[in-house]
Structure formats: structure tokens, C-alpha cells
Amino acid sequence: MFITVALHHDWSILQLDVVNAFLHGNLTETIYMSQPQGFQDPQNPTHVCKLHKALYGLKQAPRQWFATLSSFLHTIGFHISSADPSFFIYNQHGIHIYLLIYVDDILISGSDSQFISNLLQQLQQKFQIRNLGMLSQFLGITFTRSPTEYHLTQQSYLEQLLSNAAMSSCKPLTTPLLLKWPTDPNLQANYTQQDHFRHIVGSLQFLTNTRPDIAFAVNKICQHMHQPSIGHFQLLKRILIYLKGTTSLGLFLPKTDLNLTAFADSDWAGDAIDRKSTTGYCIFLGSALISWSVKKQSTVARSSTEAEYRSLAASAADVIWLRRLCQEFSINLPSTPLYCDNISAMSLASNPIFHARTKHIEIDHHFIRDCVQAKHIIIHHVSSVDQIADIFTKPLHSQRLAQLRSKLLVLPHTSLKGTVNDTTSTSAQQKA
């Protein structure tokens, strides 16, 4: 959302790095440390050091550094967002400045370049700050900028992952999962290299930051990390083979309007072992995808309507949080359209007379009704063909996957131009 808002207003995004950030934190607790090797006092070898500053490795260090930085920002007029504690806002005299902080990495953008220059000088005087220039590499993600778009990729990270998994020379496939889960009994034996399996799966989890098209496949594999079988490893290899053919794909953020739109979907009893359903949803700010989720539901749904209803509730919670975040960006939103392809679930969400059919559903899932009644969310029906969240709830054949991938704006860097109009042509987005 930070990047999309900056694009909308044609603001530059600067990236800062704090040198030795944790050493700026003042300790409030009494902490002693043994004398470091090579610096022992020969006169007092049994003495210990009393720390005045935080050191790397202390549990208190990140918290104390954040307290030091936030206190300084408060003194110059910034306040912490109520939606996200790592987000700082300056909104005075018609000037809007935003800081996004991840430990010692900082992104800054806003409406007044002179104010930002002065702020950088103040930060430099207080801390040792490196100005890394325009946003290009952040948290392992490559940001490619043009006047009207950002393209987010993890191509170098993915190529290193394929090399570590010895899959750099494999022949690519067009889908990350089989349409049917394999049932060969020979594949049920335990996979012996479990640490290797978990390492690759953990790496794939980080890759889903820019590759929502593999979110469902990675979610399925993650459910078997405690005791993977040979069949699970074969499915993991298929995901890697699919990624081999799509290394240049990444998340595309165009310059767009600032209206939220959400799509929610669910399968029903999709897990053959425990018959639990999978919730999937995605949320757009204009035509830019900013949030998505794949999660197996905690209880068994007794009907497809109930499964879809739970999915609506999960997506509504994320929408309400994003609406709060939009307020921090001074974005005034109308009611957010939430698209669902199950009419019965829509009826449950907007009509409380179906009480007898929903006695067994947890109270927190009825949160969606309050959102509808308060007009924060308006639920619309969407055909299954236009249900973008379908990619998060089930395996898909290659044509359907490619179609939804383009709607999610997961595009190769070489094909940015000429694709934006094609990705906004569905009937659901036209209604939004």
C-alpha cells in the first residue's frame, strides 16, 4: 500500500539504512556481560562488564532501538499509526510524510521533498544513516521503477534457491500442482531428508511475497512439514520445476486509483485427510494487488455455504484493517465491494434470520454481518469464471492459472507494457 500510494501521488521513495542500529539503544535494565575474549582485564579476570548500551544478541536490543528511534521521531512531529506500529506519519501544515521501518531499514516518501531533505539531515545528526537513494532493493526484493509502475521480483533469490535444490537444469512445467493428489502407496513412505525438505519449503514461503500464484501450492506443502513423505517431496519438486519456467514473474504495481476491492473464495472439504476447507482471498487497491491469503479452516464445514461464509469473514477482517490503514494515508473510501461466488453465503452474511442454520458457527465468523450492516463492506456476486480468488483454493490447469495470474498482475518484467488494460477487463472489476 505504501508503494501504491506513492505511485498514485508521483512521490519518490527513498531507502535508508541505519549503521549499527542496535548500538543506539539505551538499556533501562541492569545487564552484565562477561569480559569479551581478547579484551580481558588481567588485573581483574573475574570481573564482568555492566552494559550501558544494547548489543547485538540481546533480547532487549531490537525493542530499545525501536524505542530510541520512535522517541526521536515523536519530537519532530511524527506519530505512530494505530494500524501498524512500524508506520510513522507526519501530517501537519498540508505536508504528508510517511516512514516505513523494518528494524534498521527505512523507506520514506511524501509530498514535500524539502521537508524530507531536512529530515534526512536531522536523522544523520542523531544516528549514522546511509541514504541508499531510490528504492531498488529492500528485504531481498528487487524493485524496478518506471514513471507509472513498480515491478517486484525475487529472481536472484529464486535462482539461488533452485541452485541449492539442484533443480537449475530441470525442464519447466506449466502448473505448480497436479489437479489430483497422488495416491500411489509407494509414495507414502517417509522422506528421510526432512531438514532439507523444511529448508526448501521455508524458502518458498518467503518467495510468496511476490508470487501469489504459488501461495496455494506452498500452503499445501507446509501442512506436511512435520513428517513429509516421498510423495510430498515429489510435489515440492513440481513447485520448483514450475518456478524454473517462471523465474522472471513478479508482482506488478501500476499507478492506479485508491479504492479497495476484495475477492473471497473457498473450496469445500478439499483436504482428503481431515475434510477441512481452504479459505482464499485477495484484496486490490485500485488494480494493484496488496494483500492475499491462503489458510486451511480450523473446523470442518458442514456445507459449501458455511465454508464460503467463513472465507467472507476472514477477508472482511483484513479489509477492515486495510480501511484503517487507508485512513492513515488520508484516503477516504466508500463501502468496499467484496465479491463472492456463493449466493447462499451472501444471504447468511446479510440476513440474520438464518439463525437456526448457523448455531454451530463460531461467533467471530458473524463479524461479517456487522461489517455489512455498518456499510463498511458491500457483498456482490461474481461468476466463478471471474472469481480471482479461485487461484488460492484449488489446483488449476495451465490455461486457468495463466488467466488468473494475469488478473493478479503477476507478470514478467519484459511484458509490463501493453498488459495493464488486459488485466482489468473482467466483469467483476468493471462493477467495482
Among 133, 145, 153, 112, smallest CA distance to 9 is for: 112
Split at pLDDT 50, 70, 90, the class of 86 is: very high
Q: Maximum Cα–Cα distance for the chain, whole Å?
A: 82
| Distance set, CA 180 to CA 12, 245, 271 (Å) | 47, 22, 11
Q: Is 236 helix (H, G, I), strand (E, B) or coil?
A: helix
Residues 6+ apart with CB under 8 A from 384: 341, 390
Task: Write down the pLDDT at residue 427.
Answer: 41
pLDDT at position 430, please? 39
> Across-strand partners of 279?
266, 295
Q: How far apart are CA 288 and CA 305, in angstroms?
A: 29
- pLDDT at residue 432 above 60? no
φ, ψ dihedrals at 99, nearest 5°: -120, 135
pLDDT digits (tens, 9 = 90+) for 334-388: 999 999 999 988 888 877 655 556 666 777 678 888 899 889 999 999 999 999 9
* Residue that is written with C-alpha cell 467484496 in the block: 338
The dihedral over CA atoms of 256, 87, 14, 140, expressed in degrees to the nearest 10, equals: -90
pLDDT of residue 120: 94
- What is the structure's pLDDT at 4? 95
Global pTM? 0.87
pLDDT of residue 357: 60
Of 56-60, 71-75, 289-293, minimum mean pLDDT range: 56-60
CA separation for the pair 45, 43 (Å, rounded): 6
In contact, 336 and 376? CB cutoff 8 Å: yes
Q: 413 pLDDT exceeds 80?
A: no
Confidence of residue 58 (pLDDT cuts 50, 70, 90): confident
Chain mean pLDDT for the chain: 88
Which pLDDT does position 418 carry in this prediction? Answer: 39
Q: Write down the CATH number for the domain with range 258-394.
A: 3.30.420.10
109 in Cβ contact with 12 (< 8 Å): yes
Q: What is the pLDDT of residue 414?
A: 60
Cell readout for 19 is 549503521
Pick the CATH number of 2-133 from 2.60.120, 3.30.70, 1.10.10, 3.30.1490: 3.30.70
Confidence (pLDDT) at 421: 34
Winning range, highest mean pLDDT, from 39-43, 184-188, 234-238, 271-275: 234-238
Residue 277, pLDDT > 90, answer: yes
Q: pLDDT at position 254, please?
A: 93
What ranges make up the beta strands (E) of 43-86? 48-50, 79-80
Structure confidence at residue 9 (pLDDT): 94
The set of cell numbers assigned to 295 is 489458510
- The answer, yes or no, to whether residue 212 has pLDDT greater than 80, is yes
Neighbours of 164 (CB within 10 A): 13
Residue 166 in this model has a pLDDT that exceeds 80: yes
Domain ranges of the chain: 2-133, 153-244, 258-394
Q: Residue 154's pLDDT band (boundaries 50, 70, 90)?
A: very high
Contact 377, 393 (CB under 8 A): no
pLDDT on residue 358:
66
CA 317 to chain centre: 15
Q: How many CB atoms lie within 10 A of CB 280?
A: 29
DSSP-derived secondary structure letter, 233: H
Are 245 and 422 spatial neighbours (Cβ–Cβ below 8 Å)?
no
Number of residues in the chain: 432
Q: What is the pLDDT of residue 79?
A: 94
Residue 333 reports pLDDT greater than 60: yes
In the chain, what percentage of residues exceed pLDDT 70?
93
Residue 241: pLDDT over 70: yes
pLDDT, mean of residues 183-207: 89
Question: What is the per-residue pLDDT across 95-140, written as a single tens digit (0 to 9) for each?
Answer: 999 999 998 899 999 999 999 999 999 999 999 899 999 999 999 8
Q: How confident is the model at residue 425 (pLDDT cuts 50, 70, 90)?
A: very low
Mean pLDDT, residues 79-83 taken together: 92
